[in-house]
Amino acid sequence: MTRNPTARAVLMVGLPGAGKTTRARGYAALRLTPDDWMIPLFGDSYADGKRWTLEGRLILVALPALRLGTDVVLDFGLWGRDERSALRWLITSIGADCVIDYLPVDREVQLARIAHRQATEPSTTFPMSETEVDLWREQFQAPDQAELCGGEIPAAPEGWSDWLAWAIDHWPPLTELGLRARGPAGTDAVA
């Protein structure tokens, strides 16, 4: 049997309650989900910035797996366009394919799913208020059609030399990638 040497990374994009993890479980791939670790280790999903550290560690697992030909699902939520662009850049720079699986969700459906999960599986989630959900809905940057179709990755935001520099700042463990990059405002970020 001949295996396709190009692995694929799927970026799960959506708000809490959108159905990302349920969909992610359906892929025949290595599934990397911060909530599988954050809640058991720290009792909440962010834990004073530890989420970005954990996501960075999971990316460090994903990249070599992709190089070896293993498909990977990053079930992070990825609310921001910059996060998605940085990951798309990292993934395609190693020769893997990258797709975005975006799950939009209506507010009422989202609230009902969150309440159901809290009532039936409290150890897999954390309390979320309607006020938080509304704030998150405002902060969320839905992917546009170009992003969903795998269009060109935009340039890194102003103040960053490239997506690697941005990614190292956002996900600190990525400094282990062994590359040298420029950080914000011309500071060095050593990978």
- Per-domain residue ranges for the chain? 8-154, 157-191
Q: What is the spatial distance between Cα 48 and Cα 67, in angstroms, rounded to a whole number?
A: 32
pLDDT grade for 180, boundaries at 50, 70 and 90: very low
pTM, two decimal places: 0.89
Residue 35: the pLDDT is 86
Beta bridge partners of 189: 181
| pLDDT-wise least confident of 3-12, 57-66, 69-78, 135-144 | 3-12
pLDDT tens readout for residues 16-47: 999 999 999 999 999 999 988 887 888 777 67
Angle at which helix 50-67 crosses helix 35-42, to 10 degrees, equals 140
Residue 48: the pLDDT is 80
Q: SS3 for 75?
A: strand
- Taking alpha carbons only, the member of 63, 98, 15, 26 closest to residue 171 is 63
Residue 151: the pLDDT is 96
Q: Which CATH number fits domain 8-154: 3.40.50.300, 3.30.870.10, 1.10.3720.10, 3.30.200.20?
A: 3.40.50.300
pLDDT over 90 at 155, yes or no = yes
